[in-house]
Structures are given as C-alpha cells and as structure tokens.
Copies of this chain bind each other. A is one copy, B any other.
Amino acid sequence: MAAKLGSFRYSLLEKRERTKGHSVWGFANEEGEEEQGQGQGLRCFSYRFISDKITGFLKVVQLVAGKAWQMGKSDPRKIIFSAKMGLALMLISLLIFWKQPIKELSQHSVWAILTVVVVFEFSIGATLSKGFNRGLGTLSAGGLALGMAELSQLAGQWEEVVIVISIFIIGFFSTYAKLYPTMKPYEYGLRVFVLTYCFVTVSGYKTGEFIHTAVTRFLLIALGAVVCLVVNIFFYPIWAGEDLHNLVAKNFMSVANSLEGCVKGYLNCVEYERVPSRILTYQASDDPVYSGYRSAVESTSQEEALLGFAIWEPPHGPYRSLGYPWKNYAKVSGALRHCAFMVMAMHGCILSEIQAPPERRQVFHHEIKRLGAEGARVLRELGNKVKKMEKLGPVDILFQVHDAAEELQNKIDRKSYLLVNAESWEIGNRPHSLAEPQNLLNLDSEEHKVLGSKSLSEAVLCLRTVTIPNSWDGLKNNVGANPTVPPRAPFGDLLKKQISWPVRTSLTTDAVPLLEESKTFENASALSLATFTSLLIEFIARLQNVVDSFEELSEKANFKEPDELPAAAREPIGLWSRLFRYLKF
C-alpha cells in the first residue's frame, strides 16, 4: 500500500513528512502561540483554572489595561460610551439620594440601578430594543401577576399552591418560548417577564400589596429607562445603523484588498512553505489575504445583530426616511460575501499543494492582473458609493471589468493548450507544424521580455518534478511515438523541457508506471491555472449580483445622485471649457 512516486498519495504523504517537524497541527508548540488570541478567553475560564485565575486576575487586569489605551485610540467611541455609562449610573444614584424622603421608593432603588446596568447598551437601537423588552415584559407580567393574585385569593386555603403552580407554568412556557429560534429578539423580554411575575407574586403575597409592588417596581424601572435613554441619545449618540453602514462599506474594501493580494500573490508565485494551521482550521489569522475575505465572511452575525438594532432606531442623520431599508445593507453585504467565496477559492489555489508552473502563469500575467485590478476597482468604487450614499452613474460600472474578463477569456481561448498537458492524450499529441518558432512567447514578448529565459531557468525548480529516473533517456524515443510531431522547433524544445513526460505506452518496463504516475501531479498543476482563471471569471460574473443589490439599496434608500457628472454629459463641458480656455489665451 506504499504510495507510488509522483502519485497523489505520494505527494500528500511527502508533504506530511516535510511538515512533521514544523508541527502543522500544533502538537509541539501547542502551549505557545496557539494559546494566544481567542483561545485565551475561552481556555483560561475552564473549571480547573478557577483557582489559578482568581490569583492571576490582577495580572489579566494589568495586561488589559495596557492594551486599553490602544483600543481607545482605535475607537474613541468606546471611551465615550464608558463615560456615558458612568454618567447614567451617577445620575441614577443622585436621584436616589434626593428621593431619600420617600422611603418606599428608595427601598426599591435597586430596580432603577438594575435597569440602567442592563438596558444601557452601546448603540441606541440596542438600548431601545432592550428598554422595550424590559418595559413590555414588566408590564405584561405585572398585569398577569395582579390577575393571578385575584384568582389565587378565590382559591382560599389553596392560595399558596395556586401561586407556586402558576410560577411553574409561567416559568415553563416563557422558557420554552425563549428557545424558539425566531423568538430570539424577545429573549430578554421573556426573562424580565418571568422575573417580574415571580417577584410581584411572591412579594405581593407576603405584603398583600400586589398593586403597590407592581407599580413601585414599574415606576423605578421607568425612571432607570428614562435616564438611560436621555443620556444615550443626547450625549454623543452611537447609532447601530451607522455601524452597519460602515461595516458593509468596510467589507467591500476588505474583499477588494483580498482579491488584489490574491491575484498578486498568484502571479508572483507566492507559496506558503507551510500553510498556517489557523488557515487550515479556519481560525482567525493575520495573513492579509486570508483575513480580508474572512472578515467579510465572518461578519454575518455582527451584521445580523446590527440590523436587529438598526431597525429600532428612529430616522436620524443621513438615514432620514421612515422604514429605512437597513435590510438591504445586509443584502448587499450578502451578495458581496457570495463574491468573497470565490476569492476564498482563488486563495485555495495559492494554498494548494498543486501549483501551476510560474512560466505558464506569466503567459496570462497581463490579463489576470488587469482583471484582478478591475475587479478590485469595482469593489472599491461600490464600497465608496455605499459609504458616500451615492447612486451609480449612468456609466456601466462593470463595463471595464467585463471587457477585461473577455480579454482574459480570449487569451485563454488562444492558449488553452497551456492549461493542459497534451503528452498523454490518447488521441495523440498536438502538432507544432503550424506554430512558428517562438510563437507562443513572441506574442507576449512586448510585455514579458524576460519570459524566455525565465522558463528555462525556473521551470525545473517550480515544476515540482519528481527525480527523473535513469531510464529516462532510454524512454525518450517514445516521446516520438506520434510520428507527426517532430520536436524540431525551438518552442517545441522549450515546452519539452517544462512538461515533457513520455506518452502513455504499453511498455512494461519498470520505469514506465513510475513516470506515468508522476504525470498525474504534473497535469493537475497545469489545470490549476485553468481553475484560478475560471474562479476569477466566476468572481467577475458574481459582481453583477452585487451591483444589482446595490442598485436596489440605492433606490430604496434614496441615495443621492453622483457628484461627478456622467462621462456622456462631461464631454460638452470639456468642450466648453476648452473653448473657454481657447478664448482666454
């Protein structure tokens, strides 16, 4: 079952051997870097670590304090929000101090403080949502508890039993409802509902003042909520909608950067000596190409949360219309994500063990580069339009990129023989009779003058060829099995140097199976280039969705017309100003 030379198994096993020392899976340095990042927060909280952590808590605080400055610098809103929280707490305690004469109220002051602590959220949408949940939960539970109190008094001596059973029933149904997926936004409200019901019932039963308990509690909660809202809305408001807006715009930039990095890396034949295990297990990594698309892909849950808050926010700032189409922002981002998956697959071509030979990539260098650049430009332009809330101009934003895609496809059409290895075709090799000497290279020589020598020098290094067995020379005459293909042209020789494996023959010498299998890898290499270009073109095709969803957003959200005049309208102005200039001189 030993892996045969050049086969998939062989190459994969070989890779495994190579990376063993490096501990791809973190066996060796598991306690080292793997501990960093998100793992830290999780692992350090495990059961057995409790005692260690209580003593180490101050250390953690020290560490966090050290990084706190940087966090504040990168997002000053966090400092402002913290100050606002402090302010709200200060205000509520002041109110309680002042209210001291009314003993009844101040006894229940905890409700006001609790409300502030729980309801005061980063964005206004979140605060409103939680406040509404709390209000609704308290009101309905209070009402229900009062009704239940009346009912339980009818039960006479069974009063306690009725109360306890009602608590069980309320607890059961609220909790069950909470677990239903679409009830998630109501989750906090249901918690409050249960809490209020239990509290009002229990303390009302003891004091006999159901209404009093309920009303006092509600008043204090209202007080807390009012303080929250006033502080949160009137001091430097932080809007979830704005965050969502910026996040979507940022995603465009991340994917654009990733795409550019990916195309650049591919053309420069960047190879990972060992792929970081964080990428292989789809964890956060600081690889720029990877983190670009990953952040766009992973922002789903963040977007959903922001969307959930944004639709709570009243019209404000640039989001003036009632019923602002926040959902469409998420939709645009989703369409972008659909594109990002293609960038991810393209990155897969770089991560892959199977790599296209560099000199073949060079042939398509110009077209791939242009297409990548155009794609990134479209993404950036759309991202900017989202950010500036501008409609698309009359000029088709995709015209250039489609043109570039066609250029690449045409080139592929003409040179698709570079994407496959003809040597093992059962229908025979292709003839070089029509190809003029150096035809392949000359066609692109204006751009890649260096290519000829590059192919000769780097080909051997980059082709990942297995060691050529000694019987190579002996077999070589089999290459000419196709009598119509005399390798007479210099180009033929050049190509042979790169990819000349003998054709499939029925010879039963020992060397033949070896060579046969080594081709497997070889040919997969060439196809890898086809895959990359196909993925790139599919990425471009998916851009149409992004543009469509952006157009829908810009219509619904009433984006402003673009500042700059469209190219068609610009022409006469250009003429006019030229005339003006002409008259001036």
Query: Quick check: A64 and B335 within 8 Å, CB to CB?
Result: no
Q: Which of B64, B165, B180, B482 contacts A68 (CB 8 A)?
A: B180
Max chain B CB contacts within 10 Å: which of A38, A42, A354, A425? A42
Q: How many chain-A residues does the 8 Å CB contact rule pick out?
A: 183
**Residue among A92, A93, A129, A160 having the largest count of chain B Cβ atoms under 10 Å:** A93
The reply to whether the CB of A67 lies closer than 8 angstroms to some CB of chain B is yes
Residues A100 and B420 in contact, CB atoms below 8 Å apart: no
A345 interface residue per 8 A CB criterion: yes
Q: Is A218 an interface residue (CB 8 A)?
A: no
User: Of B82, B203, B415, B549, which is within 8 A of A172 by CB?
Assistant: B82
Contact: B341 with A348, CB < 8 Å? yes
Are A90 and B414 CB-contacts (below 8 A) given A45-B311, A96-B202? no
- On whether A534 and B544 interact (CB within 8 A), knowing A41-B183, A334-B283, A338-B281, the answer reads no
A71 in complex: contacting residue of B50, B179, B330, CB < 8 Å? B179
CB-CB < 8 A to A1: which residues of B?
396, 399
Contact with B along A10-51 (1 / 0, CB 8 A): 001001100000001111000000000111111101111010
In the complex formed, the residue of B with least CB distance to A401 is: B8
**Taking the complex as formed, is A97 at the interface, i.e. its CB lies under 8 A from any CB of chain B?**
yes
19 pairs, A vs B, C-beta closer than 8 Å: A46-B312, A48-B322, A68-B176, A71-B180, A78-B179, A97-B205, A113-B198, A113-B199, A341-B345, A354-B541, A410-B520, A412-B523, A415-B426, A416-B425, A416-B523, A419-B420, A427-B432, A428-B430, A530-B531
CB–CB B430/A427 < 8 A: yes
**Do A42 and B8 touch across chains, with their CB atoms under 8 A apart?**
no
Contacts of A354 in B (CB 8 A): 534, 537-538, 541
Interface assignment of A144: CB less than 8 Å from any CB of chain B? no
CA distance A148 to B89 in the complex (A): 16
Q: Is A237 engaged at the interface, CB distance under 8 Å to the other chain?
A: no
Check if A443 is an interface residue, CB within 8 A of chain B.
yes
**A424 and B420 in contact, given A81-B179, A406-B8, A433-B484 (Cβ under 8 angstroms):** no
Which residues of B have CB within 8 Å of A341? 282, 341, 344-345, 348
- Note all chain B residues with C-beta closer than 8 A to A304: 38, 42
Chain B residues, Cβ within 8 Å of A43: 311, 327
**A353 contacts the other chain (CB 8 A):** yes
Q: Report the minimum CB–CB distance from A386 to chain B (whole Å).
A: 15
Least CB distance, A248 to chain B, in whole angstroms: 12
Contact indicator per residue, chain A 432-462, by CB within 8 Å of chain B (1) or not (0): 1111000110010000000000000000000
What's the dominant secondary structure at chain A's contact region? Answer: helix
Q: A354 vs B132: C-alpha distance in the bound complex, in angstroms?
A: 50
Q: Is A314 an interface residue (CB 8 A)?
A: yes
Contacts A341-B345, A406-B517, A415-B425 known; A24 to B113 CB distance under 8 Å? Answer: no
Asked if A362 CB lies within 8 Å of chain B CBs, one says no
Name A111's closest neighbour in chain B (CB-CB).
B110
> How many copies of this chain?
2
Residues of B within 8 A of A45 (CB): 129, 185, 308, 311-312
Residue A409 contacts which of B86, B175, B337, B523 (CB distance < 8 angstroms)? B523
In angstroms, Cα B121 to Cα A67, docked, is 32
Chain B residue with the shortest CB-CB distance to A523? B413
Contacts of A500 in B (CB 8 A): none
Is A280 part of the contact surface with B, judged by Cβ < 8 Å?
yes
Q: Does A479 contact B (CB under 8 A)?
A: no
A392 proximal to B (CB < 8 A): no
Known: A8-B402, A25-B548. 6 other contacts (CB 8 A): A7-B406, A9-B406, A78-B179, A87-B168, A97-B160, A406-B517
Measured in the bound complex, the distance between the Cα atoms of B352 and A387 in whole Å is 29
A466 on interface, CB distance cutoff 8 Å = no
Q: Is the CB of A281 within 8 A of B331?
A: yes
For A264, the chain B residues whose CB sits under 8 A away are none
| 8 Å CB interface, A365-408 against B | 396, 398-399, 402-403, 405-406
Chain B contacts for A311, CB-based, 8 A: 42-43, 45-47
Instruction: Name the residue among A47, A163, A427 with the largest chain B CB count within 10 angstroms.
Output: A427
The minimal Cβ–Cβ distance linking A69 to chain B, given in whole angstroms, is 11
- Point out the residues of chain B lying under 8 angstroms from A523, CB to CB: 409, 412-413, 416
Check if A496 is an interface residue, CB within 8 A of chain B. no
Q: How far is the CA of A136 from the CA of B327 in the complex (A)?
A: 40
A359 within 8 A of B: no
Are B117's CB and A191's CB within 8 A? Answer: yes
Cβ-neighbour of A413 out of B429, B519, B538 (below 8 A): B519
**CA of A322 to CA of B106, assembled, Å:** 48
A348:B353 contact, CB within 8 angstroms: no
Q: Which residues of A, 175-229, contact B by the 8 Å Cβ criterion?
A: 175-177, 179-185, 191, 194-195, 198-199, 201-203, 205-206
Within 8 A of B (CB), among A43-76: 43, 45-48, 50, 54, 61, 64, 67-68, 71-72
